[in-house]
Amino acid sequence: MSVPAHQFNDQIILITGGSSGIGLASARAFIAAGAKRVYITGRSAAKLDQAREELGNKAVAIVADVANQADLNRLHNDIQVRGDKLDVLFANAGIAIRNQFGHTADNEYGNIFDTNVKGLFFTVQTLLPLLNDGASVVLNASIAASLGMANLSLYNASKAAVRSFARSWATDLKDRKIRVNAVSPGVTRTPIMENGLGMSEQDIANFSAYLAGAAPIGRMAHPDEIAAPVLFLASKAASYINGVELSVDGGLTQV
Ligand SMILES: NC(=O)c1ccc[n+]([C@@H]2O[C@H](COP(=O)([O-])OP(=O)(O)OC[C@H]3O[C@@H](n4cnc5c(N)ncnc54)[C@H](OP(=O)(O)O)[C@@H]3O)[C@@H](O)[C@H]2O)c1
């Protein structure tokens, strides 16, 4: 899927978790499609600096933890001070950590839900005053939203909540003509595999081998293959698409 080169001319985009993986690939794609400015966020200043250097002067990097309301307020203020209003908000920041049901501690619950659910909820709520009427919000859910993947019950449930927000907010924001959709990536090769899930190179190779049989497309996704459908949902080409979950999983959960 390709998005016309000038589709996002003059538009201002915010991508939470834009320093790595799917968020960074999306930042690259929005800039290539003509965006005027792309704000990217994350917790690590070093990762953001590296991303900002790669993306060039259309990118603005702001350190902000979505789980921290003071950070979200500061993010809002930094964008406002520049006189910017947002045309697209890609609420993408998220973590994936295994939990063993029967032996899950309170703080494990807090980690996942504070970032993936509370963090995403308050990201969008805090930025609402800066969204233009007619803006597009894309939420990064996951195929996990509708699967019972082993030892991931907290992650699976957190993503089901994200999928649900797309339905509710499409309704809640209808007077402002703001569309809200969810993208649900399948298995995508990003640093989340090593960072949160603690997978080794061998684990990743085994997973790839499994997908070769289980997914009709027979392989993992490249982050660019998630970014393109994110741009589609955010674009005018999707002007009649609202409240949906777009599965981008090579058919894994579709067959
Ligand atoms: N990769 C997959 O297979 C897959 C599949 C389905 C859905 N997803 C979803 O896609 C999204 C992006 O994941 P990814 O695979 O691209 O992983 P990634 O490469 O690890 O990227 C995650 C990004 O989110 C940021 N982040 C994490 N926690 C944050 C917080 N509390 N506040 C602000 N930023 C935060 C990270 O930066 P810092 O660490 O510096 O904060 C990073 O920029 C996640 O929501 C994930 O659940 C991924």
pLDDT tens, position by position, 153-205:
999 999 999 999 999 999 999 999 999 999 999 999 999 999 989 999 999 99
pLDDT digits (tens, 9 = 90+) for 32-42: 999 999 999 99
For a mutational test of ligand 1's pocket, the pick from 66, 190, 249, i.e. the residue with the most ligand atoms closer than 8 A to its C-beta, is: 190
Question: Quick one: average pLDDT of 112-116?
Answer: 98
The residue range of the domain holding 169 is 12-186+221-244
* Active-site residue flag, 240: no
Does 201 reside within a domain?
Answer: no
Query: Does ligand 1 come within 6 angstroms of the Cβ of 250?
Result: no
Query: Does ligand 1 come within 6 angstroms of the Cβ of 195?
Result: yes
Report the alpha-carbon distance of residue 216 to residue 226 in Å, rounded: 17
Does 252 reside within a domain?
Answer: no
Count of domains in the chain? 1
DSSP-derived letter for residue 222 is P
Does 79 reside within a domain?
Answer: yes
Confidence of residue 222 (pLDDT cuts 50, 70, 90): very high
Confidence of residue 4 (pLDDT cuts 50, 70, 90): low
Does 5 reside within a domain?
Answer: no
Does 4 reside within a domain?
Answer: no
Q: Which residues contact 39 (CB under 8 A, 6 or more apart)?
A: 12, 13, 14, 15, 18, 59, 60, 61, 62, 75, 79, 84
Please name the residue whose Cα sits nearest to atom 47 of ligand 1. 94
pLDDT digits (tens, 9 = 90+) for 13-37: 999 999 999 999 999 999 999 999 9
Residues of the chain with pLDDT > 70: what percent? 98
Residue 3 has pLDDT above 90, yes or no: no
Question: For the CA atoms of the chain, what is the radius of gyration?
Answer: 17
Query: Residue 49 maps to which CATH number?
Result: 3.40.50.720
Does 193 reside within a domain?
Answer: no
Does 112 reside within a domain?
Answer: yes
- Closest-lying ligand 1 atom to the alpha carbon of residue 191: 19
CB 37 within 8 A of CB 13: yes
Does 254 reside within a domain?
Answer: no
